[in-house]
Amino acid sequence: MALTPDGAGEAVTPDALAADVSPAADAADATDATAASALVTGSERDLARPLVVPNTLWTSMRPDAYRSGAPAVTHLRELEGSDLELSDTARWGQLEVIPTKADLVVDLIRMNSLWPLLSGLACCAIEMMSAATSKNDMDRWGMFPFRASPRQADVLIVAGTLTTKMAGPLVRLWEQMPEPKWCVAMGDCTCSGGRYKRSYSTIEGIDRVMPVDVYVPGCPPRPEGLIYGMMKLGQLVKERRGQWPEHKIGPNVPTDV
């Protein structure tokens, strides 16, 4: 059986491509381009640009809260007096009505009741449910009430392979969650594409379409692994004080987590 296909001569030069490409073709583009073109405006659909695009998933009260480049000043003491403290409001919702010293209390409160969203994509969802059930009980940290509605959830545990068709709904889900919200990438597929990295319809890591706070690798990770990740998230909520300069879309791993 002949393996060489017909239409071999139809390789088109990039210049011809730029003219040829239409939105439908963008949708058809397989691995990354959907994620990418899902994030660039229709006017600047340039498929050759790198995938690390600035954060367009939500607008903040203070846009410079998401500015990149400046090192994260995250400690409470440095935070007071610096104007970074103001920019907490960008991520932390109504925090500006609360005095600075109370932030610690608020963080402790938020750390101790992280309600995950009841949404599983694939295999890891089973282990996510297993982490919530009797044998290893995530409820001990006040994490059990899996809210069915994103409006009442704090943590989005992306459990399973993210496909190009599911990317839009997932980003929508993330936007529907009210601030403050956190995202946990559970499983290899969500961290890096995993065993489906090569496929034509998967996204190589969800950090190409949404910010991620904690990565839990494994295929799938054991429930203990997920619980450890959630505890790390609690530590993050307590310590990082809501300033996330590295939260631009793009593959990035928090160094201290």
What distance in Å separates the CA atoms of residue 42 and residue 204, rounded to the nearest whole number? 22
Shorter beta-carbon distance to other proteins: residue 134 or 255: 134
Residue 51: CB minimum distance to other proteins, A: 5
Query: Judged by CB under 8 A, which stretch of 73-81, 162-170, 239-247 contacts other proteins?
Result: 162-170
Instruction: Pick one of 72, 73, 147, 217: the residue that binds other proteins (CB under 8 A).
Output: 147
What is the dihedral angle through the alpha carbons of 203, 207, 211, 215, rounded to the nearest 10 degrees?
120
Amino acid at 177: M
Instruction: Choose between 32 and 246: whose C-beta lies nearer to other proteins.
Output: 32
The residues in 214-253 that bind other proteins, with binding defined as CB under 8 A, are 219-220, 222, 250
Contact 121, 174 (CB under 8 A): no
Q: In sequence order, what are the residues at sequence separation of 6 or more whose Cβ sits closer than 8 angstroms to the Cβ of residue 30?
A: 164, 199, 200, 201
DSSP-assigned letter for residue 47: T
Q: Is 5 in the site for other proteins (CB under 8 A)?
A: yes
80-109: contacts with other proteins (CB under 8 A): 89-90, 93-98, 106, 109
Verify binding: residue 154, other proteins, rule CB under 8 A. yes
Q: Which amino acid is at 256?
A: D
Measured CA to CA, the distance from residue 172 to residue 176 in angstroms comes to 6
Q: What is the DSSP string of 89-109?
A: HHHSGGGGGS-TTHHHHHHHH
- With binding defined as CB under 8 A, does residue 212 bind other proteins? no
Quick one: which segment of 40-48, 70-78, 79-87, 238-246 binds other proteins (CB under 8 A)?
40-48
Which DSSP state fits 145? -
Residue choice 84, 87, 155, 164 for contact with other proteins (CB under 8 A) = 164
Count the residues of the shown chain that bind other proteins, applying the rule CB under 8 A: 117
Binding mask 16-35 for other proteins (x = CB under 8 A): -x--xxxxxxxxxxxxxxx-
